[in-house]
Amino acid sequence: MALLDNWEVVIGLETHAQLATQSKIFSGAATAFGAAPNAQACAVDIALPGVLPVLNRKAVECAIRFGLAIGATIAPRSIFARKNYFYPDLPKGYQISQYELPVVQGGALTIRVGQGEGVAEKTVRLTRAHLEEDAGKSLHEDFHGKSGIDLNRAGTPLLEIVTEPDMRSSDEAVAYAKALHALVRWIDICDGNMQEGSFRCDANVSVRRKGDPKLGTRREIKNLNSFRFMQQAIDYEVRWQIERIEDGGTIEQATVLFNPDTGETRAMRSKEDAHDYRYFPDPDLLPLEIAPAWIERVKGEMPELPVAMKARFERDFGLTAYDATTLTASLDMARYFEAVVAAAGRDTAKTCANWVMGDLAARLNRDEKDVAASPVSAAQLGGLVARIADSTISNSIAKKVFDALWNGEGAGRDNAADEIIDKQGMRQITDSGAIEAIIDEVLAANAKSVEEFRAGKEKAFNALVGQAMKATKGKANPQQVNDLLRKKLAAGAA
């Protein structure tokens, strides 16, 4: 983009991750998605007089897990504050959040940007992550000119995760958002469902002339609930800001919304008091204290993190960085792959990786299935890879066995691949006498191809290999067929 030549883009992200708890952060109301309106809004959530908030232990534990996963400081003591503003979906007139002393401080996330040869790693520093409650939902559809308020979401626990302004392009912002999305699911603190609003991002975007030490004025794009929209919104916003400054205008701090239909960002009606939240410590909540013993216990329960697992896959299994990254895209995927290797043997890890990322991923994708719900179990796929590795079957036959497994043959039995191979007589023919006999028949029946080959047509050779493979129903080892056929043709010519 020529427009960008003289400009630097500066982006910071704020992400709201809905924490995977059963009940709300300060009340015993359920958090399940999709309940009838206001059926899960209790007296605390709707702010009836006299109620008191009581903090959910699991929500705190999620914050600890996150802090450990990004190498942050878990505050031994943190404070809840009231963020004051008036809106119909906020019954108390304030949101309970954390301001001066958040529970998670600092930390960093490594992201990978670019593709193929151009992949580069970059570290995005995190400023903080704090616990807070979500607001309710306003429905602006037709209620005789009024808005309908559903408070089921009010009080749902959120972890707001804030970065330093470390990203320099929409690509980096999206790479960060994806890495964060993968991480919160990996450590099982958020289901990551973006359609249901469980993971939503705000992007603070500014531009400055290259070399300018001072940051430009930022505009905040609110509520980006897909990676594609994030990319489009930031790209549009960057162009808009640069063009405005180049046309002699200035940027005013504003909150903007992205319209996916037009692909444009638009400033919300500016409210001069929008950011005057008058935070103060919530007198209803005592300081949150997290003892070192609690942090140690959570540390012991954490799964191996994706970065560590990726390094181990490269080191122990000899996988490429690309393969290791792909296989650690989610914890379910990584666990599945490890189980395949465990069943097939460590020496076959590369073949296992190819099958998981190739045939299996393609099928899962086509049938819109998650790897956890794969009809082919890891043990079954491992059994199949083992038969390829010991030359019982060829790769092309293996694909047929895989089809059978996918369609439920031998479902529930770990040795299903062996059963299918035996039942259908799919064992590779390695007896060279048997293969030679078949080749003789093929040569006799395809005199024309033999002639063409002798006349120098290499294509004719491939046709003969094809005929021989067909005659063995694909069960011969193609390399062996190749070798024997060449030998026979050479002998015949002499």
Partner 1 sequence: MSLSNDQVHRIAHLARIELAPGEDARIRDQLNGIFTLIEQMQAVDTSGVAPMSHAVDLSQRLREDKPSETDQHVRFQQIAPEVEAGLYLVPKVIE
By CB under 8 A, name the binding residues for partner 1. Answer: 21-23, 27-31, 36-43, 46, 48, 54-60, 77, 79, 84, 86-88, 93, 101, 138-140, 143-151, 268-269, 273, 276, 278, 281, 283, 285-289
Closest CB to partner 1 among residues 196, 276 = 276
The nearest distance, CB 116 to partner 1, in angstroms, is 43
Q: Is 93 left (phi over 0), alpha (psi -120 to 50) or beta?
A: left
- Give the C-alpha separation, 381 to 402, whole Å: 8
Q: Could you tell me the two tokens for 454?
A: 């002798």
Closest approach, Cβ 273 to partner 1, in A, equals 6
Per the CB < 8 A criterion, the answer to whether 108 and 69 are in contact is no
The residue among 69 and 290 lying less far from partner 1, judged by its C-beta, is 290
The tokens describing 413, both together, are 């039995």
Bridge partners of 488, per DSSP, are: none
- For partner 1, the closer CB: 140 or 210: 140
Closest contact distance (angstroms) between CB of 195 and partner 1 is 21
User: Considering the complex, what minimum distance in angstroms separates the CB of residue 328 from partner 1?
Assistant: 29
What's the rounded Cα separation, in Å, for the pair 35 and 19?
A: 18
Residue 156 or 377: the one with the smaller Cβ distance to partner 1 is: 156
Q: What is the DSSP letter of 328?
A: T
Which residue, chain included where needed, has tokens 């001072």? 214
72 near 104, Cβ under 8 Å?
Answer: yes
- Dig out the tokens for 279 from the structure: 């935070």
Q: Report yes or no: 17 and 59 within 8 Å, Cβ to Cβ.
A: no
Task: State the minimum distance, in angstroms, from the CB of residue 52 to partner 1.
Answer: 11
Cα separation, 205 vs 170, in Å, equals 10
| Identity of the residue, 67 or 382, whose beta carbon is nearer to partner 1 in the bound complex | 67
For 258, other C-beta atoms within 10 Å of its C-beta total: 22
Between 139 and 179, CB nearer to partner 1: 139
Q: Which residues are CB-neighbours of 427 under 8 A, at least 6 positions away?
A: 392, 393, 421, 475
> Residues of 113-148 as b/e, b for ≥16 C-beta within 10 angstroms?
beeeeeeeebebebbbbbbbbbbbbeeeeeeeeeee
| Smallest gap from residue 301 Cβ to partner 1 (A) | 15
CA distance 322 to 354: 12
Nearest approach, Cβ of 28 to partner 1 (angstroms)?
Answer: 3
Closest to partner 1 by CB, 10 vs 151, is 151
Q: What is the distance, to the nearest Å, from the Cα of residue 16 to the centroid of all Cα atoms in its chain?
A: 16
Could you tell me the smallest distance in angstroms from the CB atom of residue 92 to partner 1? 13
User: What is the C-alpha separation between 203 and 193, in angstroms, rounded?
Assistant: 19
> At a CB cut-off of 8 Å and minimum separation 6, what does 40 contact?
29, 30, 31, 32, 152
The CB-of-130 to partner 1 minimum distance in angstroms stands at 14
CB of 279 to partner 1, least distance (A): 12
Structure tokens at 84: 């004051």
44 vs 416 by CB, closer to partner 1: 44
Q: In the complex with partner 1, which residue's Cβ is closer, 59 or 309?
A: 59
Specify the pairing of strand 7-18 against strand 157-163.
antiparallel
Q: Where are the beta strands (DSSP E) in 171-218?
A: 199-209
Min dist. Cβ of residue 27 to partner 1 (A): 7
* H or E stretch at 184: helix 170-186
Cα 189 to chain centroid distance, Å, stands at 14
Element (H, E) at 458: helix 458-471
User: Which residue lies nearer to partner 1 by CB, 152 or 477?
Assistant: 152
129 three-state secondary structure: strand
Closer of 210 and 269 to partner 1 (Cβ):
269
**Nearer to partner 1 by C-beta: 55 or 162?**
55
Q: How far is the CB of 144 from partner 1 (least distance, A)?
A: 8
Where residue 324 falls (left for φ over 0; alpha for ψ -120 to 50; beta otherwise) is alpha
